[in-house]
Amino acid sequence: MPRLPRRTRPFAAALTLLMAGTAAVTPAHAAPPPHPAGSGAPAAACALPGATGWTDEGHDTDPVQFQPSTGTRRVLTLFVDFADARATEPTDAYAAQLAPAARWMRTASYGHLRLDVTPLRRWIRMPQTSTSYGFERGLTFETHERYVRDAITAADPHVDFSGYDMVYVVPAREATAIPFSPTYLYDPSGPGVTADGTRLKWAVTFGQDMWRWGHKVVAHETGHTFGLPDLYAFTGETHRFAGGWDVMGNIAGAAPQFLGWHSWKLGWIRDRQVACLPAAGERTVRLSPVERPGGTKIAVIRTGRTTAYVAESRRARGVDGSACSTGVLIYRIDSATATGEGPVRIMNGNPAATPPTGCTPLDMGAYTPGQSFTDPATGTRIDVLAGGAAGDVIRLGATGGD
């Protein structure tokens, strides 16, 4: 969950949660020859502008507010304790809890992102008590920034911060007053946090929920520093919009691979891997599963200035090894919808399915050969023509609405 600058929306107080070409494709009926992504409209015609002024589904991510999402990001992990919550064990178990995140993110990004994480293997004593930072009373931006500043100031004698892009702050288990893990995104108009001549613009301050979520909380929170919004709901039923698809929704979800749309936004897939239908027409597309590199990753039907439908192929492999359903995932994007309010909404292809233990109804939502999705209001139709281990073949259709 990201921390928002003090002059924007209020903070939500708690975290609630290659196409290989050789595998057989099993058709539901005879499918027309698919076209490669590059044979239609340019991908840019389906890119949406951000319209919230914050983390959203727009492709014009602010390069000042958010950090680059490709290449190597150098991260320093600080372990902190407090006079009222003194650490009683070494930092090793804490570092081990979060360490798998670097490999997880490298896999999920098809190698385009590398988190180079360096733990400062010592406890840093914070100048204030754990209860004084307001995590349990409704954390404000100012207090959160003070927490980050205090940790960096206390650690400054032991490390040169000029060599790092962001900071992870991990509290002792004894600090129960710090229960959840918000992301710190700096306010460009304020003084911010500076050490060794470097402004520290991005940080994740972990809480006790890291022991519940494990290393995937690193992926979720770091995703916010790249401009990604929360896909879960801030009010009402928490996972009603995206279920367990994408780690930006349910961190513990069964299929946490980043949506293909997010991978495009982050620069992990290229425009040539996007099939775009920006206006009325029809085209057939072969999709390669998003869980592996290569091939066409998403098909997009643009339906408005800030809206689109997206289809992608999902398989139970890689970080999605426990996926509850496989096939074509179809979802609606609205880049004008704020974080926590449903900027991504999964279309459920199997609403009558009974989810097994550990799965939600939306987790069962992937479409299979012979199924179709329609939205008469926008004139959208997506037919799943064939599917197999190598991916899926779909037909996109758009009439421009009624």
- Asked, for residue 233, whether it belongs to a domain, the answer is no
HSE of 165 in the Cβ direction (CA atoms, 13 Å)? 17
pLDDT band of 37, cuts 50, 70, 90:
low
Question: Are 324 and 368 in a shared domain?
Answer: yes
193 in the same domain as 323: no
Q: For residues 8-38, b (16+ Cβ closer than 10 Å) or e, as one string? A: eeebbebbbbebeeeeebeeeeebeebeebe
Asked if 52 and 130 sit in the same domain, the reply is no
Q: Which of 12-21, 307-316, 318-327 is predicted with the least confidence, judged by mean pLDDT? A: 12-21
Average pLDDT of the residues in 18-44: 47
pLDDT interval class at 33 (50, 70, 90) = very low
State yes or no: pLDDT of 17 exceeds 50.
no
Let me know if residue 14 belongs to a domain. no
Confidence of residue 363 (pLDDT cuts 50, 70, 90): very high
In terms of pLDDT, which residue wins out, 2 or 302? 302
pLDDT at position 118 over 80: yes
Instruction: Report the chain's C-alpha Rg in angstroms.
Output: 22
Assess whether 184 and 242 both reside in one domain.
no
Stretch 213-233: mean pLDDT, rounded?
98
| Residue 27 clears pLDDT 70, i.e. is over it | no
Same domain, 120 and 188: yes
pLDDT at 382 over 90: yes
- Structural domain contains residue 304: yes
What is the predicted pLDDT for the residue at 41?
84
Answer yes or no: do 218 and 309 share one domain: no
Spatial CB neighbours of 209, under 8 Å, sequence gap ≥ 6 = 15, 179, 180, 181, 217
Is 268:31 a contact under the CB 8 Å cutoff?
no
Would you list the DSSP string of 217-231? HHHHHHHHHTTPPP-
Same domain, 211 and 302: no
- The verdict on 291 and 370 lying in the same domain is yes
Q: Which of 198, 225, 252 is the last residue of a domain?
A: 225
pLDDT at 16 over 60: no
pLDDT of residue 102: 98
Count of structural domains within the chain:
2
pLDDT given for residue 15 in this prediction:
35
Distances (CA, A) of 199 to 39, 150, 157: 45, 14, 16
User: pLDDT tens digits, residue range 48-68?
Assistant: 999 999 999 999 999 999 999
The rounded mean pLDDT for the chain is 91
pLDDT at res. 31: 40
**177 and 265 housed in the same domain:** no
4 assigned to some structural domain? no
Residues 328 and 393 in one domain: yes
- Average pLDDT over every residue of 342-354: 97
Whole-model pTM? 0.91
- On whether residue 51 sits in a domain, the answer given is yes
Asked if 257 and 168 sit in the same domain, the reply is no
Q: Is residue 290 part of a domain?
A: yes
The range of the structural domain enclosing residue 361 comes to: 25-61+238-398
What pLDDT, in 10s, does the model give residues 57-104?
Answer: 999 999 999 999 999 999 999 999 999 999 999 999 999 999 999 999
What pLDDT is recorded for position 2?
A: 52
Residue 130 lies in a domain: yes
The pLDDT assigned to 14 comes to: 33
CA 223 to chain centre: 5
Per-residue pLDDT of 158-206, as tens digits, reads: 999 999 999 999 999 999 999 999 999 999 999 999 999 999 999 999 9
Indicate whether 13 pLDDT > 60.
no
Same domain membership, residue 292 and residue 145: no
Considering 225, 253, 285, which residue would you say is the last residue of a domain? 225
Phi/psi at 131 (nearest 5 deg)?
A: -80, -15
Of 175, 191, 225, the last residue of a domain is: 225
* 347: nearest Cα among 378, 319, 318, 316: 378
What is the pLDDT, as a whole number, of residue 138?
Answer: 84
Question: Is 117 inside a domain boundary?
Answer: yes
pLDDT (mean) for 343-353: 97
